[in-house]
Copies of this chain bind each other. A is one copy, B any other.
Amino acid sequence: MATLGLIEYKDASPDVRAVYDDIMATRKTDWVNNFWKAIAHDPVTLKRTWESVKQIMGPGALDPLTKELIYIAVSTAAQCPYCVASHTASARRKGMTQDQFKELMAVIGMASETNKLVTGYQVEIDEQFKNIW
């Protein structure tokens, strides 16, 4: 179980509730997942993390679904089961199809394989990759 336990809405202080309310309003859901309830013991981290997530994951030069796919990729590469589960669910809510999920997995797997071949064969960076803009 979570190190410090989970803070439920009914037990939350006003500043924590304000973040929970914003999470639910932003996501158009009526519940808050365990991650936020676990870090709510530190209201400063809760607020900073939520505001960063909200800012970063919103629409921009990349669409929100693409950002979720990237989040899953990082979480899978980092071997974080909770993060994989929660962001796969998020991507689903944002419209990820099963075919997209399967291709995402194939790319992650392929990248992980070539990452290690590169490291094991001690490959040096090509000059052509050094000034690309």
Contact among B34, B61, B105, B131 for A124, CB-based, below 8 A: B34
Tallying the copies of this chain within the complex gives 6
Set of chain B residues within 8 Å of A97, measured between Cβ atoms: 61
CB of A116 within 8 A of CB of B53, answer no
Give Cα A117 to B39, complex, Å: 8
Q: Which residue of B lies closest to A83 (CB)?
A: B115
9 A-B residue pairings within 8 Å (CB atoms): A45-B105, A49-B109, A56-B110, A74-B74, A82-B119, A83-B115, A85-B126, A89-B128, A105-B116
Given A120-B105, A123-B38, A126-B33, A133 contacting B4 (CB threshold 8 A): yes
Q: Interface code A51-89, partner B: CB below 8 Å = 1, 0 otherwise?
A: 011011100111000110111111111111111111111
